[in-house]
């Protein structure tokens, strides 16, 4: 669960912008550490250079993130959200390192202000200054013991102040990095909102283009040359139906011509078959009606048809005359 849930009433833009302010604070803290605590950084020059480069990267992340939030640029947000996560982890480790260093240097800092150590150090400083001065500067040597308590207090106050500032800064780094890592959901929600807006805009443009194509097609102009149809859309189905309607009369006429030709061919075949069957039947009747002749057939058998009987009589008379 996001720890920023109590701040859900705050606008999402403000929450995302607040998250991108933390890298700027990280940059300031790192530069402050380099100025207030030279000991852990001066002894490690490579670590100091890495901290400076990391501070510059935090500054760039904050600037680009703010531009992406207020200009609503999805590319800027996608490019910086990964950097934001990485920077939070790195700052957490740096804060822990500085905190451990401060806790370890606390006894040595306080041991410097022990009475014997302070007197010996101030006496050594006074002797060295006395050797360097001429006899005319004897008054300054006389003022050194009087200024000793004031210098001790200022030195102690400076060391204590720097230690506490560094301690508070390191603790703030640890807390802020942990909270920011847990509240990255605001940036994700902002990205989802931008994606939804882009999707709605694309849908609106597609709907407007389809409406324009339908309007022009209804007027008889045809679709726009620079518009593309998506398979499954209303305009695609409409174009497919219109194409089928344009082609269907021609296809219907062709199919009617083919069916008529087949019907005429079938009727002609039927008439030809009837003629052939009639001729065959006539030949059979003639063969059965003729006598056997020399084979001893009966010539008195007449056909059931008058014409056949007349033909038989004529043939019989011709045979008798012969």
Cβ proximity of 64 and 86 under 8 Å: no
Residue 237 lies in a domain: no
Which domain range does residue 38 map to?
5-127+150-200
The Cα–Cα gap between 292 and 282 comes to 18
**Of the candidates 182, 200, 218, which is a domain's last residue?**
200
Residue 225 lies in a domain: no
Number of independent structural domains in the chain: 2
Q: CB-based contacts of 156: which residues, under 8 Å, 6+ apart?
A: 113
Residue 56 lies in a domain: yes
Co-location of 196 and 115 in the same domain:
yes
pLDDT by residue, tens only, the chain of 322 residues: 455 556 667 787 888 888 888 899 888 888 887 777 665 566 677 777 888 888 899 999 999 988 988 888 888 888 888 888 888 888 888 888 888 877 887 655 555 444 444 445 555 455 545 544 444 454 445 445 555 566 667 767 777 777 788 788 888 888 888 888 888 877 778 888 888 888 888 888 888 888 888 888 887 655 544 444 445 555 555 555 555 554 445 444 555 555 555 655 666 666 666 666 666 655 544 555 554 444 444 444 444 445 555 555 654 555 554 4
Residue 43 lies in a domain: yes
Residue 195 lies in a domain: yes
The Cα–Cα gap between 98 and 37 comes to 9
Residue 280 lies in a domain: yes
Reading phi first (left if > 0) and then psi (alpha if -120 to 50, else beta), residue 233 is in beta
Cβ proximity of 29 and 194 under 8 Å: no
> φ and ψ at 86, to 5 degrees?
-65, -40
Neighbours of 126 (CB within 10 A): 16
The Cα–Cα gap between 42 and 58 comes to 22
Residue 226 lies in a domain: no
Co-location of 88 and 174 in the same domain:
yes
Residue 241 lies in a domain: no
Co-location of 176 and 54 in the same domain:
yes
């Amino acid at each position: 669960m996001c720890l920023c849930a109590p701040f859900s009433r705050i606008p999402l833009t403000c929450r995302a912008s607040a998250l991108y302010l933390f890298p700027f604070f990280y940059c300031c803290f790192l530069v402050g550490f380099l100025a207030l605590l030279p000991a852990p950084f001066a002894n490690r020059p490579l670590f100091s250079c890495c901290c400076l480069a990391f501070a510059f990267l935090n500054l760039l992340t904050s600037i680009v993130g703010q531009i992406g939030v207020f200009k609503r640029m999805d590319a800027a947000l996608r490019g910086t959200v990964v950097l934001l996560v990485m920077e939070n982890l790195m700052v957490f480790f740096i804060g822990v390192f500085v905190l451990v260093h401060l806790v370890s240097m606390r006894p040595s800092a306080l041991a410097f202000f022990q009475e014997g150590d302070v007197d010996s150090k101030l006496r050594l400083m006074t002797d060295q200054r006395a050797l360097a001065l001429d006899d005319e500067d004897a008054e300054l040597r006389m003022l050194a013991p009087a200024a000793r308590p004031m210098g001790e207090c200022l030195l102690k106050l400076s060391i204590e102040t720097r230690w506490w500032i560094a301690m508070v800064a390191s603790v703030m780094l640890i807390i802020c990095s942990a909270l920011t890592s847990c509240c990255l959901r605001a940036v994700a929600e902002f990205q989802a909102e931008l994606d939804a807006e882009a999707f709605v805009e694309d849908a609106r443009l597609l709907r407007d283009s389809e409406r324009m194509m339908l309007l022009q097609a209804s007027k008889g102009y045809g679709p726009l040359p620079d518009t593309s149809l998506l398979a499954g859309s209303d305009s695609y189905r409409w174009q497919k139906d219109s194409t089928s309607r344009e082609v269907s009369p021609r296809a219907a006429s062709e199919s009617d011509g083919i069916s008529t030709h087949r019907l005429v061919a079938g009727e002609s075949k039927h008439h030809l078959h009837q003629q052939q069957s009639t001729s065959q039947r006539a030949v059979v009747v003639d063969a059965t009606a003729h006598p056997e002749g020399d084979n001893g057939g009966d010539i008195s058998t007449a056909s059931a048809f008058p014409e056949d009987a007349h033909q038989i009589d004529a043939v019989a008379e011709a045979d008798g005359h012969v």
